[in-house]
Structure 1
Amino acid sequence: MSGQDSEALAQQVRGPVLVPGDEEYEAETAGFQSGLRIRPAVAVGALDAEDVRAAVSFAASRSLPVRVHSTGHGRPAEAQGGMLISTRRMNEVRVDPERRTVWTGAGTRWEQVIEAAAPYGLAPLNGSAPHSGVIGYALGGGIGLLARTYGYTADHVRAIDLVTPDGTLRHVTAAQDADLFWALRGGRDGLGVVTGLETDLVPVPRLYGGALFYDAAAVSGELLTVYRDWTEGLTEELTSSLGFIVLPDIPQVPEPLRGRHVAQLRVAFTGDAAAGERLVAPMRAVGPPLIDTLREMPYTESPSIHSDPTDAHAYTGTNLMLDGLEVDAVRQFVEQAGHEAPVMCVVQLQHLGGALSRAPGDGVGNAVGHREARYSLSVLSGGEELDAPAAAAYHHKLGEPLEHRKVGRFLNFLFGESDADELRDAYEPETRRRLTEIRERYDPDGRFRTPITSLP
């Protein structure tokens, strides 16, 4: 982009306009996912919806491709050239306790919503990492801490403010722009820049939750068998997952876990603590845990259940949505992701079903797919020395024995440079066809095209 063009753009927006070489350019284009840096010709730090509208209109006048991010937790869309719109400054939160809803700006993080909703005894349908952004998470589907009780976060999005590729600011609801509303909720990419959205809050002021940590080598076979049997009859009030990771032998790791391949049962139960204890009893019977953090807690402490890392880092990962839990195959997956793996692997096996299996009852539905899946199995590798192609190849090798149980993949759990087959698996063929038609209608010039929107 020429200096004259960037100066013209700076006169049309209130936020910063930055080009390569500017002092703040690197910080503006960086995200939580540090392994895939983007190098736009110009970055716009939008302050409000009008800034976004002006930036999109300017890009249209210059035929520039447009990409957008706020916290940058997901897979960065390629922006080698073109325009990047950063929405991280648009972080307003407005709670409506009577309607049990919250309106969030495009740069809002879930931790802000958790704190804003808590005084009213309400909670959002956030995921395990409260420092991630609301928009990408919710519109990618969102399998949260309370997923089996309330379903996908996308099912609870009520309204979306969106600047479409032609520079028009739209208020999108089920009653207005029903096709666009359907596509945004679960389709996420390629339809413009979201400037804010309204979503439901739920009456969950506290929960029974936490984690049980085990030595994976000692319990992995029995743990997986018990977990499969336990989850088959589990109430929808309880959402759980198993995590597996080899932890380093360093002082920052709690002494009982150092150097071990650790298995971690994570639990979030909306009933009372006594009922929670009874429900978890079969999992406790697997053996004495190395650490036990299960307790009753205010919802504001729910991030402690997973204790996800908060520092930016490089990572890549993939996911399989499964129609059932084949214990021997999953055990092999977990063991090969342990001490002998050529790359560090974090594995998560998540119980699905419950409300996740039911479409939203708003008469419009959404693009979230594979609701018949009963479990999600994900693997992620990270670190600043990460060899992402080698890690991705190993992830594929791990998943091969489970391909026959795969019903698809989950968009929000595809990190790094996912290949076309992985991205295609995020949707059923008819959903993908309808998404393509809607995207072509609103973005005929392909300025918001990303790898997943380019699939046939």
Structure 2
Amino acid sequence: MALSDPLAQRLTFRPGQEGYEDEIAGFQTGFTQEPDIVVAASDADDVVAAVRYAAEAGLPVGVQATGHGLPDAARGGVLISTRRMDSVEVDAAARTVRVGAGVRWAHVVAAAAEHGLAPLNGSAPSVGVVSYTLGGGVGILAREFGYAADHVRSVDVVTADGELRHVTAASEPELFWGLLGGGANLGVVTALEIGLVPVARLYGGALAFDGREVDPAALLRGYAAWTETVPDELTSSVAALVYPDVPQLPPHLRGRYLVSVRIAYTGPAEDGERLVAPLRALGPTVSDGLREMPYAESHTIHNDPDFPHAYYGDNLMLTELDLAGAERLLALTGPAADHMHVVQLNHLGGALARPVGHDNAVPHRAAAWAVRLLSPLEGTDRAALRELYARAFAPLAPHAVGRSVNFALAGGDRPDGVYDADTQKRLAGLKATYDPANLFRRNYGVG
């Protein structure tokens, strides 16, 4: 089909054209997009034109802002690049922020901080706000305030019929429900209005233990017991990885097996010191970065990598943590492994498990833990990682209720378990209504 009128005046790129490779480049380099045409959207009108063009041509539609959570490589079709839609408007009196489709969390955190407010962002400032929120969004303050999706006030979305809709819980309650948790299955979101919380500072950071000097299993048992004593105002996780012995890393990290506990607590620093005392008693630390900090520095708690790379990952949402199974996971992915792996255990519960004022499609609220496994793809392949992941997750499976949409990065290998049966059925009904031709199919499907 020749380039039709809806795109004639739009910024587009085709394979082989200068700028095409830069436009499709994202944070995830292991599963890349290779569309027939990229529409570089600057506003909602560009998105409308792209969707109408794709619908007329019978082409699938993909969306990319930062390219962190691609479910798989994709060829052909139309890719809508939203990185230029980067407006951020804070309404301090209403405690809300309106963000464009291409905005990253770093920009929202900085803008909200000027007013003593904070968004419910995740650990990495380079992640896109929209895709994170549509998947639910488990952030660093999640136990106190719940999922990021729980705080959305309105969604501007272009549906498969090429119409731009302003959707709220009052105007279109069923579509609003499905968009929040349903990912990109129902349309292309051009803007979100999200509630902010009155947090200007927190007590947090990381305690890092040497996993060769302190028994990781003992650390895990101590941490799990400790989580049963903490208030909802404290959100935490554990990460374990063997750092590669490469000159690009600081000498104190090269080749070291570190087990780190990451903390974010919104109460007074003196109370935070009291709460973490049992963790410090678990053994000598390699580093202790716990401190009071402005919320704008909260990204230093996790220090997630900020450079594009190829990775593979998966996760389980658990009703309870089987310590023997978790210890087996650590054993398979620690120093004895022949490849680098990152294990993360997120303590959930609190506000994540409570009902919200406006119901949404975020699944698995009964989960008390999230277990994530992430592996660089360099030096290995999917088949080897699939086999390892199956062995690593098997002991934990009896307590699994499903998988998180945000962290289901396994290249489309395992579409199962992302939604529970009731949520899947309800989303499928919405899909049949709003996207009967399955235009938006480059994600974890619900139809």
- TM-score normalized with structure 1 length: 0.95
Does 2:145 align with 1:150? yes
Give the 3 Å change call, closer, same or farther, for CA 381–339 of structure 1 in structure 2.
Answer: same
Matches of residues 2-401 of structure 1 in structure 2 within 5 Å? 5-6=2-3, 8-13=5-10, 16-76=11-71, 79-217=74-212, 218-362=214-358, 365-401=359-395
Alpha-carbon contact 2:98-2:191 (below 8 Å) kept: yes
Q: CA RMSD in A?
A: 1.5
* Pairwise CA distance, 1:251: 4.2
1:240–1:55 CA distance, 2 compared to 1 (3 A): same
Q: CA deviation at 1:250?
A: 3.4
Post-superposition CA distance 1:156-215 (Å, at most 9, x none) = 111000000110000010001111100010111221110000101111100001000001
In 2, are the aligned partners of 1:219 and 1:286 still within 8 Å (CA)?
no
Matched residue SS, 1:198? strand
Q: Residue 370 of structure 1 contacts residue 407 of structure 1 at CA under 8 Å; is this kept in 2?
A: yes
Report the CA distance between 1:450 and its aligned residue: 3.2
In the alignment, structure 1 residue 440 sits paired with structure 2 residue 440: no
The one-letter code matched in structure 2 to 1:75 is: L
1:21 to 1:67, Cα distance in 2 relative to 1, 3 A:
same
Q: Which amino acid aligns with 1:414?
A: A
**What residue in structure 2 maps to residue 449 of structure 1?**
441
Maintained 8 Å contact 1:36/1:416: no
Cα deviation digits, residues 405-439 of structure 1 (max 9, x gap) = 111111111113133xx433121101000001101
Determine helix, strand or coil for the equivalent of 2:192.
strand
Once the two structures are superposed, what CA deviation does each residue of 1:188-245 show, in whole Å capped at 9, x if it has no partner?
Answer: 1221110000101111100001000001232312211111111112100000000000
- The one-letter code sitting in structure 2 at the alignment partner of 1:406 is A
Partner of 1:418: 412
Aligned equivalents of 2:157, 2:222: Cα separation in 1: 46
Check the 8 A contact 1:244/1:261 in 2, yes or no. yes
More divergent stretch after superposition (232-241 vs 216-225): 216-225
SS in 1 for 2:34: coil
**Are the aligned partners of 1:155 and 1:359 in contact in 2 as well (CA < 8 Å)?**
no
Equivalent residues of 2:73, 2:411 under 8 A apart: no
In structure 1, stretches of 5+ residues that fail to align are: none
1:78 deviation in Å? 5.1
Check 1:328–1:236 CA distance in 2 against 1; reply closer, same or farther (3 A cut). same
Answer yes or no: is the 8 Å Cα contact 1:411–1:423 preserved in 2.
no
1:332-353 Cα deviation digits (max 9, x unpaired): 1111101222321100011000
Query: Secondary structure of the residue that 1:448 maps to in structure 2?
Result: coil
For the residues of structure 1 that align with 2:143 and 2:407, how far apart are their CA atoms? 17
Per-residue CA deviation, residues 60-117 of structure 1 (Å, 9 max, x unaligned), is 1222211111101112555411111100100000000001000000000000001101
Per-residue CA deviation, residues 346-380 of structure 1 (Å, 9 max, x unaligned), is: 00011000000012113xx0111111111111100
Classify the secondary structure of the residue corresponding to 1:280.
Answer: helix
- Deviation sequence 1:128-175 (CA, Å, 0-9, x none): 111010000001011000000100111111100000011000001000
Deviates more, 1:331-340 or 1:111-120: 331-340
> Partner of 2:185: helix, strand, or coil?
coil
Size of the aligned set, in residue pairs, is: 446
CA distance in 1, matches of 2:109, 2:379: 34
Whole-angstrom CA distance in 2 between matches of 1:38 and 1:392: 22
Structure 2 letter corresponding to 1:51: D
Contact 1:256–1:291, Cα closer than 8 Å, also in 2: no
Identity percentage of aligned residues: 50
- The whole-number CA distance in structure 2 between the counterparts of 1:298 and 1:108 is 21
1:1-45 per-position Cα deviation (integer Å, ceiling 9, x unaligned): x5xx237454243xx211111011111112111101111111100
Would the aligned equivalents of 1:221 and 1:331 in 2 still touch at CA under 8 Å? yes
Which of these residues, 396, 399, 422, is aligned with residue 402 of structure 1? Answer: 396
Deviation at residue 390 of structure 1 after TM alignment? 1.6
- Per-residue deviation, 1:324: 1.2
Give, in whole Å, the separation in 2 of the partners of 1:321 and 1:216.
25
- TM-score of the two chains, using structure 2 as the length reference: 0.97
Asked if structure 2 preserves the Cα contact closer than 8 Å seen for 1:409 and 1:425, the reply is yes
- Higher-helix-fraction structure: 1
- Once residues 426 and 61 of structure 1 are traced to their aligned partners in structure 2, the CA distance between those partners, rounded to angstroms, is 31
* Code of the aligned partner of 1:183: G
Gaps of 5+ in 2: none
Whether contact under 8 Å (1:31, 1:73) holds in the other structure is yes
1:307 offset after TM fit, Å? 0.5
Q: Please give the secondary structure, in 1, of the residue aligned with 2:355.
A: coil
SS, match of residue 303 in structure 2: coil
